Chain A
Amino acid sequence: MTAQDPVVLRLAGIVKTFPGVRALDGVELEVRAGEVHCLLGQNGAGKSTLIKVLAGVHRPDAGEIVWQGEPTSFSNPQAATKAGIATIYQELDLVEDLTVAENVFLGHEPRTGGFVQRGRMRRSTREILGRLGHAEIPVGRAVGKLPAAAKQIVSMGRALSYDARLIIMDEPSAVLAHDEVANLFRVIRDLTAQGIAVIYISHRMEEIREIGDRVTVLKDGRTSAVNLPARTTPTAELVSRMTGRSIEYVFPDRPAPAADRPSAPLLKVEGLTRHGEFTDISLTVGAGEIVGIAGLVGSGRSELLETIYGARRAHAGQVRVDGRSLPAGQVGAAVRAGVGMAPEERKSQALVLDEPIYRNVTLASFGKYATGGFTNADRERKAAEKVADALALHPRDVRRPVRTLSGGNQQKVVLGRWLLGQGTKLLLLDEPTRGVDIGARAELYQVIRALADDGMGVLLVSSEVPEVLGLADRVLVMREGHLIHEAPAAQLDEETVLDLVMAGSLLEVTAP
Chain B
Amino acid sequence: MTEPGNAVAEAGGTPPHTTTAPADARPPRPGKARGGWWGGDASEPVRRNLGLVGVLVLLYLIGVFSRPDIFASGARLWSNELTVLTQAASIGVITIGMTFVMISGGIDLSVGALLALASVWSTTVATQSYGPGVMIFTALAVGTVAGAVNGILIAYGRMVPFIATMALMVAARGLSQKISGKLTQISKVDTINKIAETKVLGIPLLVIIFGAVAAAGWILLNRTTFGRRTVAIGGNPEAARLAGINLRRHQVLLYALSGLCCGIAAIMVTSLSNAGSSDHGNLYELQAIAAAIIGGTSLAGGRGTIVGSVLGVLVFTQITNLFIVNNLQLEFQLIAQGAIIVGAVLIQQFRVAALRRPAPPGA
Interface residues of A (CB under 8 A from B): 16, 18-21, 23-24, 41-51, 170-171, 201, 220-221, 243-245, 247, 250, 252, 262, 287, 309, 311, 331-332, 334-336, 338, 341, 343, 348-355, 359, 363-364, 366-367, 370, 373-375, 377, 386-387, 389-392, 394-395, 399-400, 403-406, 409, 417-425, 439-440, 442-443, 446-447, 449-451, 453-456
With both chains docked as a complex, state the minimum distance between the C-beta of A489 and any C-beta of chain B, in angstroms: 19
Nearest 9 CB-CB pairings of A with B: A21-B28, A44-B362, A335-B244, A47-B363, A49-B361, A390-B12, A23-B361, A352-B235, A446-B15
B41 at the interface (CB under 8 A from A): yes
Residue on B with the closest CB to A377?
Answer: B41
B12: contacting residue among A24, A245, A419, CB under 8 A: A419
CA distance A449 to B10 in the complex (A): 13
Report the stretch among B45-53, B110-118, B352-360 that lies at the interface.
B352-360
B280 at the interface (CB under 8 A from A): no
The answer to whether B241 touches A170, judged by C-beta atoms less than 8 angstroms apart, is no
CA distance A425 to B7 in the complex (A): 11
A377: contacting residue among B16, B40, B235, B241, CB under 8 A: B40
Report the stretch among B71-79, B84-92, B164-172, B218-226 that lies at the interface.
B218-226
Residue on B with the closest CB to A220?
Answer: B24
The answer to whether A355 touches B1, judged by C-beta atoms less than 8 angstroms apart, is no
A50: chain B residues at CB < 8 Å are 361
16 contacts between A and B (CB under 8 A): A23-B360, A24-B361, A44-B362, A45-B362, A51-B363, A287-B1, A352-B240, A355-B232, A355-B302, A363-B240, A390-B12, A390-B13, A399-B34, A405-B27, A423-B5, A423-B6
Question: Which residues of B1-30 are within 8 A (CB) of A?
Answer: 1-13, 15-22, 24-30
The answer to whether B360 touches A406, judged by C-beta atoms less than 8 angstroms apart, is yes
A443: contacting residue among B15, B22, B235, CB under 8 A: B15
B339 at the interface (CB under 8 A from A): no
Residue on A with the closest CB to B359?
Answer: A404
CA distance A405 to B5 in the complex (A): 25
Residue on B with the closest CB to A49?
Answer: B361
B227: chain A residues at CB < 8 Å are 375
With both chains docked as a complex, state the minimum distance between the C-beta of A141 and any C-beta of chain B, in angstroms: 24
The answer to whether B21 touches A387, judged by C-beta atoms less than 8 angstroms apart, is no
Which of A170, A245, A355, A439 gathers the greatest number of chain B CB atoms within 10 Å? A355
The answer to whether A374 touches B4, judged by C-beta atoms less than 8 angstroms apart, is no
CA distance A438 to B146 in the complex (A): 55
A439: contacting residue among B16, B19, B40, CB under 8 A: B19
B8: contacting residue among A341, A349, A354, A421, CB under 8 A: A421
The answer to whether A451 touches B4, judged by C-beta atoms less than 8 angstroms apart, is yes
The answer to whether B26 touches A395, judged by C-beta atoms less than 8 angstroms apart, is yes
Residue on B with the closest CB to A245?
Answer: B22
B199 at the interface (CB under 8 A from A): no
The answer to whether B241 touches A331, judged by C-beta atoms less than 8 angstroms apart, is yes
CA distance A394 to B30 in the complex (A): 14
The answer to whether B11 touches A451, judged by C-beta atoms less than 8 angstroms apart, is yes
The answer to whether B25 touches A44, judged by C-beta atoms less than 8 angstroms apart, is yes
A21: chain B residues at CB < 8 Å are 27-29, 358, 360-361
The answer to whether B361 touches A243, judged by C-beta atoms less than 8 angstroms apart, is no
B245 at the interface (CB under 8 A from A): yes
Contact with A along B222-262 (1 / 0, CB 8 A): 01111110011001101111111110000000000000000
Residues A336 and B244 in contact in the complex (CB < 8 Å), given A419-B12, A446-B18: yes
B173 at the interface (CB under 8 A from A): no
Residues A334 and B244 in contact in the complex (CB < 8 Å), given A367-B225, A420-B5: yes
Residue on A with the closest CB to B241?
Answer: A331
With both chains docked as a complex, state the minimum distance between the C-beta of B132 and any C-beta of chain A, in angstroms: 31
A451: contacting residue among B1, B12, B18, CB under 8 A: B12
The answer to whether A390 touches B4, judged by C-beta atoms less than 8 angstroms apart, is no
Contact with A along B300-334 (1 / 0, CB 8 A): 00110000000000000000000000000000000
With both chains docked as a complex, state the minimum distance between the C-beta of A372 and any C-beta of chain B, in angstroms: 9
Residue on A with the closest CB to B239?
Answer: A350
Q: A44-B26, A355-B232 known; 4 other A-B pairs, CB under 8 Å?
A: A331-B243, A335-B243, A374-B225, A406-B360
B31 at the interface (CB under 8 A from A): yes
A51: chain B residues at CB < 8 Å are 363
The answer to whether A370 touches B7, judged by C-beta atoms less than 8 angstroms apart, is no
The answer to whether B363 touches A447, judged by C-beta atoms less than 8 angstroms apart, is no
B17: chain A residues at CB < 8 Å are 250, 252, 446
Question: Which residues of B167-195 are within 8 A (CB) of A?
Answer: none
The answer to whether A446 touches B16, judged by C-beta atoms less than 8 angstroms apart, is yes
CA distance A386 to B303 in the complex (A): 27
CA distance A338 to B219 in the complex (A): 30
CA distance A367 to B244 in the complex (A): 11
B41: chain A residues at CB < 8 Å are 377
The answer to whether A262 touches B22, judged by C-beta atoms less than 8 angstroms apart, is no
Residues A404 and B15 in contact in the complex (CB < 8 Å), given A21-B28, A351-B236: no
A18: chain B residues at CB < 8 Å are 28, 357-359, 361
A16: chain B residues at CB < 8 Å are 361
CA distance A455 to B2 in the complex (A): 6
Residue on A with the closest CB to B247?
Answer: A331
CA distance A394 to B4 in the complex (A): 24
A375: contacting residue among B28, B223, B354, CB under 8 A: B223
Residue on B with the closest CB to A380?
Answer: B228
